[in-house]
Amino acid sequence: MTLPSACYRLQFRGGMDLDRAAGLAPYLRELGVSHLYASPLFTAQEGSTHGYDVTDPTEIDPALGGRAALERLSEALKSEGLGLILDIVPNHLAFSVETPWLRDVLRHGRDSRFARHFDIDPGAERIRLPWLGAPFETLLAEGTFRVDDDPDGPVLDTGGLRVPLGACDALDRARGGDAAAIRALHAAQPWRLVHWRTESDRISHRRFFSITGLIGVRVEDPDVFEDTHRLIFDLVDTGIVDGIRIDHIDGLLDPAGYLARLRARVGDTPIWVEKILAGREMPPEDWPIQGTTGYVAARAFGRLLTRGAGLERIEARYRAATGRTDAFHDVMGRLRRLVMTGELAAELWTLHAQLSEIAARDPAGAELGPESLREALLAFIGAFPRYRTYMTAEAVSETDAAIVRLTAARAAETLDDPGALEFLEGVLLRQDAASAPFRLRLQQVTGAAVAKSQEDTAFFREVRLLSINEVGGEPDDDPSGIEGFHRAMARRVEHMPHGLTLTSSHDTKRSEDARMRIAAITHAPEAFEAWHRICAGFAPEGLDPNVVWYVAQTFLALDERDGDLAERLSAHVVKALREAKSETSWTAPDLDIEERAQDYVRRLARHFPRHAPEVDRIVGIADRMSLVQATLKLTAPGIPDIYQGTEFAFRALTDPDNRKPVDFDARQAALGGRMDGLAELDRQKFDLTQRLLYARRRHAALFHAGTYEPLPAPEDTCAFRRSHGDATLGVAVRVDFSGEAAALPDLAGAEVTRATLDGEVVARVTLAG
């Protein structure tokens, strides 16, 4: 197996296609990475900005250049000695008439050869299509529908969307536009068009989280597995792809079974999975993978670089300014319920129906009413401590059984009568065929409940410190301290030494340097308090103080040199308000509240940062912390994933802000030493990144298999040694910037690099042997 020394993540689409990427191969080699790490390249929906809405997994997207352009990219990479890691999406396809397999199912129903490919409720008489802007009968009365023909057969034109039609007696009569004939035609189809607002109440297919536009794929079926992976297997077999990243592994029915089949098919090709780990959780030991995509590492760096005493002062000020006093655990319980009865109400309905059917057949559950079963489900999901368990149809491991029991015990504290919960616990722990479908489906729903309530809601409500509100983190995370960081790295060496290490991605809520701008306030809380007072002074009457606190931190995360500050922030504040779901939301937007917040942000932007010297100290500390974080990422256990553009300082908010085009001309110029016009942080970060990437490439065994040993150091410094054979790496970084700096300790070996800002050395790396 050939492991990367480091990879470089490119987001395709939005101006980046395969031929343009091929032109970057010499730059990537000179930068020092060993692999290009590509976002999904399969044919996706027209206009897709990210590629995760795949319509045809058997084809490289013509919009990116198609298979021929991919082969040219492969040749360009190989000529520079580089490999290719490809992001694949086995969990779902686009729920769209653009998806050929789904078109066939819509036309032929259960007779389609692709009917078994999609995770559609077998009890549903018809596939629900929540694609209408109004109820079917309303649009029918308005004369919206008409029958037409596409190259693959007749379609029902809904006023822009053209849905495939199956043959039936009413087809010819409906061509004349008669409403009764169109109604009869619609009733005869294997699908049913409904108003989009009904999608949260009832659906007939498994979704990706709450996104109805993505339909689950049954890769647990061997034939479906082969059909959906035919192209990736060919790319691996022909040497075009050298590594695989699995998107959303927790969405699959049987992740372990899937990975076993994939490993058997791709041999020793490295595999990484996108998985969010809670607390000290590690991937199951029987998964044949190199590791996860690296959010656990980003969390470790963030907890190290957050100063405990400063966070205590920030939190006290936050509570006083906003009046928010609830414990995060209590908030999360309420938000899980909010999500499950709102965005995921359709999933709750399905689980409730399954559990009710089991109860009706079981003497122990026959007397339980529907409401008690529903409340038991809500309490259990509300108390669940991680994304999911990994029970199978045949077995429940001791680890998973313990999680079920713990969750049930916590959930019982929220119920007056735990009888239904006890029944639910018993059903989950049974190892019988009758309960297996419910058990397996519940596992696919808990991850969605956690993600939607935490990452997409709590992260925008509980905002004491936004730098820890990150994918894989917890809003109530406490700083780890240096000893806690050392323990985390020791676990990583033991359990996941070849996992990826990321600090920015297309999914992070804030990019790596934006997070450091915010984490820096824990090192200078008095400066942030002064800045917050300024922000509060600009706030209009009636604006939620929690929004003011959020905005004060968000301004710090960006820099006016990075683009139109006012417009980027005004767009972001709307997204943040809707995600929080406190006063406005995506499905019920309050435009007055949103416009007031946008106006506030624009007025504040005219003041920031030219008239805010309070910010200067925070920015100075943050720049140093960015260099420390980059040093840790490139030297700690794991394989660094360099997100596009982050070899310079990169300050971005959540998507689409984090997918903005990268100025590769400036970065290529920097390789030749032409750094005129670059900020000092850009220069320092680029030089540090390139030097450490070169060291990783020259000493691959040290970085892949090296031990991890803490070194003694001053209390504001984290130092460690990594060894393999005769080679030794020494690392020392400053992690507390609240006072005067102590000198970094001496390290054995020749200096590889040092990070220095304004004469202060904040990181040193040495190599010996």
pLDDT for residue 564: 85
Question: Domain check: are 41 and 177 in the same one?
Answer: no
Whether residue 609 has pLDDT greater than 80: no
Whether residue 612 has pLDDT greater than 80: no
Percent of the chain predicted with pLDDT > 70: 100
Residue 649, helix vs strand vs coil: coil
Question: Domain check: are 208 and 107 in the same one?
Answer: yes
pLDDT for residue 606: 86
* Residue finishing a domain among 455, 483, 516: 455
Residue with tokens 């959780």: 281
DSSP states along 228-281: HHHHHHHHHHTTS--EEEES-GGGSS-HHHHHHHHHHHHTT--EEE--PPPTT-
Whether residue 610 has pLDDT greater than 70: no
Spatial separation of the C-alpha atoms in residues 584 and 171, rounded to whole Å: 44
Round the average pLDDT of the chain to a whole number and report it.
Answer: 95
Q: Is 479 a member of any domain?
A: no
Question: Domain check: are 346 and 423 in the same one?
Answer: yes
Residue 341 Cα to chain centre, angstroms = 23
DSSP states along 116-148: GGB-B-TT-SSEEEEEESS-HHHHHHTT--EEE
pLDDT tens-digit profile of 641-677? 999 999 999 999 998 999 889 999 999 999 988 888 8
pLDDT tens-digit profile of 303-333? 999 999 999 999 999 999 999 998 888 888 8
Percent of the chain predicted with pLDDT > 90: 89
Average pLDDT over residues 91-116: 97
Question: Domain check: are 52 and 87 in the same one?
Answer: yes
Whether residue 139 has pLDDT greater than 80: yes
pLDDT for residue 7: 99
Token pair, residue 674, equals 């032409």
pLDDT for residue 542: 92
Q: How far is CA 351 from CA 202, 375, 500, in A?
A: 12, 12, 35
Question: Domain check: are 11 and 110 in the same one?
Answer: no
Closest residue by Cα to residue 69 from 18, 109, 11: 18
Spatial separation of the C-alpha atoms in residues 737 and 287, rounded to whole Å: 41
Whether residue 608 has pLDDT greater than 80: no
DSSP states along 328-395: HHHHHHHHHHHHHHTTTHHHHHHHHHHHHHHHHH-TTTTT--HHHHHHHHHHHHHH--SS-----SS-
pLDDT for residue 611: 67
Residue with tokens 């198609």: 66
Average pLDDT over residues 17-40: 99
pLDDT tens-digit profile of 410-448? 999 999 889 999 999 999 999 888 899 999 999 999 999
Q: Is 318 a member of any domain?
A: no
Which contacts (CB < 8 Å, 24+ apart) does range 45-50 have? 45/94, 45/96, 45/98, 46/98, 48/13, 49/13, 49/14, 49/656, 49/659, 50/11, 50/13, 50/506, 50/655, 50/659
Termini Cα distance of the chain: 25
Q: Is 288 a member of any domain?
A: yes
Which contacts (CB < 8 Å, 24+ apart) does range 132-138 have? 132/158, 132/193, 132/194, 132/195, 132/196, 133/195, 133/196, 134/195, 135/194, 135/195, 136/186, 136/192, 136/193, 136/194, 136/195
Helix axes 591-605, 525-538, angle to 10 degrees: 120
CATH number of 161's domain: 3.30.1590.10
Instruction: Kindly list the strands in the beta sheet with 7-10, ordered across the sheet, starting from the edge strand earlier in the chain.
Output: 291-292, 271-273, 243-246, 83-88, 35-38, 7-10, 639-643, 500-502
Closest residue by Cα to residue 582 from 465, 466, 463, 457: 457
Q: Is 335 a member of any domain?
A: yes
Peptide bond into 154 cis (omega under 30): no
Number of domains into which the chain is organized: 3
Q: Is 648 a member of any domain?
A: no
Average pLDDT over residues 156-177: 93
Residue type, 600: Y
Question: Domain check: are 87 and 228 in the same one?
Answer: yes
Q: How far is CA 75 from CA 19, 38, 378, 445, 641, in A?
A: 11, 15, 53, 42, 22
pLDDT tens-digit profile of 193-215? 999 998 878 899 999 999 999 99
Question: Domain check: are 339 and 425 in the same one?
Answer: yes
pLDDT for residue 648: 97
Question: Domain check: are 106 and 208 in the same one?
Answer: yes
* Residue finishing a domain among 190, 213, 236: 213
Whether residue 563 has pLDDT greater than 80: no
Q: Is 137 a member of any domain?
A: yes
Question: Domain check: are 61 and 111 in the same one?
Answer: no
Q: Going along 166-233, which residue ranges are E strands?
A: 191-195, 207-208, 211-216
Q: Is 169 a member of any domain?
A: yes
Closest residue by Cα to residue 100 from 160, 26, 177, 153: 153
* Residue finishing a domain among 213, 236, 257: 213
Question: Domain check: are 160 and 129 in the same one?
Answer: yes
Question: What b/e readout covers 569-588, taking b as 16+ CB neighbours within 10 angstroms?
Answer: bbbbbbbbbbbbbebbbeee
Q: Which residue segment(s) compose the domain that 127 sits in?
A: 100-213
Question: Domain check: are 154 and 264 in the same one?
Answer: no
DSSP states along 401-428: HHHHHHHHHHHHTT-S--HHHHHHHHHH
Are the CB atoms for 297 and 635 separated by under 8 Å?
no
DSSP states along 426-483: HHHH--STTTHHHHHHHHHHHHHHHIIIIITTGGGT--S-GGG-STT--TTPPP-HHH
pLDDT for residue 328: 83
pLDDT for residue 344: 96
pLDDT for residue 123: 87
Q: Is 123 a member of any domain?
A: yes
pLDDT tens-digit profile of 228-251? 999 999 999 999 999 999 999 999
Spatial separation of the C-alpha atoms in residues 29 and 79, rounded to whole Å: 10
CATH number of 246's domain: 3.20.20.80
Spatial separation of the C-alpha atoms in residues 100 and 495, rounded to whole Å: 41
Spatial separation of the C-alpha atoms in residues 767 and 769, rounded to whole Å: 7
pLDDT for residue 17: 98
Average pLDDT over residues 353-365: 95
Question: Domain check: are 247 and 136 in the same one?
Answer: no
DSSP states along 50-102: SS-SEEEEEEE-GGGTHHHHHHHHHHHHHHTT-EEEEEE--SEEE-STT-HHH
